[in-house]
Chain A
Amino acid sequence: KNQVEQSPQSLIILEGKNCTLQCNYTVSPFSNLRWYKQDTGRGPVSLTIMTFSENTKSNGRYTATLDADTKQSSLHITASQLSDSASYICVVREDDKIIFGKGTRLHILP
């Protein structure tokens, strides 16, 4: 069983709308959680990183939240743009291991 679960698996929204992606993890002990954006056929690019003591982190239109008690994180995208179409991957670090979620595929329609 994957220790990092993401939902939904895919999402389609209209340009300009907001959306929220979810990440649940069972990794313990927890070091940090990072959200990556991956365009098709390209390497992932880091959006945000949060440690145990942080519960929100913003990067432009991207805002990540973390609840370390419930082991849940979300990535909120505001005023979506066509260029936001990509996979969004949640990655959790457990001491010396890095565990990737399978990602959420986001499609933005004009």
Chain B
Amino acid sequence: DAGVTQSPTHLIKTRGQQVTLRCSPISGHKSVSWYQQVLGQGPQFIFQYYEKEERGRGNFPDRFSARQFPNYSSELNVNALLLGDSALYLCASSLVSYNEQFFGPGTRLTVL
């Protein structure tokens, strides 16, 4: 069975552009969480979605948004990119709660 998949693996954008990152959870998992991990730091929570509804939001500006689709896949959108948005973006899926989170390989975003 496939694990959590994310696309693309790497992405280079320039300041002011917009980006969309995609995540497919493990089959049967209904919850998806997004994290931002800056180099040398631990992951920072951005959003959690469960059954297509937002269930949690971290301390990120409104430039960050996300949604979950009927098939439980998810997209993270970031508008008006800043240099500081350069990071590894991780997606994690779980059945119904935080207890069993499985992480994807991440998308490496570089903003020039």
A binding-site residues for B, Cβ under 8 Å: 4, 32, 36, 41-46, 49, 89, 93, 96-98, 100-103
Which residues of the other chain, A, contact B40 by a CB distance below 8 angstroms?
Answer: 102
The 9 closest A-B pairs by CB, nearest first: A43-B103, A100-B42, A102-B42, A44-B103, A100-B43, A43-B105, A43-B106, A43-B104, A98-B98
A41, A46, A101: most-surrounded residue (chain B CB, <10 A): A41
Kindly provide the distance from the CB of A41 to the nearest chain B CB, expressed in whole angstroms. 7
Flag whether B88 is at the interface (Cβ < 8 A): yes
Flag whether B76 is at the interface (Cβ < 8 A): no
Kindly provide the distance from the CB of B46 to the nearest chain A CB, expressed in whole angstroms. 12
Kindly provide the distance from the CB of B65 to the nearest chain A CB, expressed in whole angstroms. 20
Kindly provide the distance from the CB of A95 to the nearest chain B CB, expressed in whole angstroms. 9
Contacting pair B88 A41 (CB below 8 A): yes
Contacting pair A93 B90 (CB below 8 A): no
Which residues of the other chain, B, contact A93 by a CB distance below 8 angstroms?
Answer: 98-99
Contacting pair B106 A41 (CB below 8 A): yes
Contacting pair A41 B99 (CB below 8 A): no
Q: List 10 A-B contacts (CB under 8 A).
A: A41-B106, A42-B105, A43-B92, A43-B104, A43-B105, A45-B103, A100-B35, A100-B42, A102-B40, A103-B41
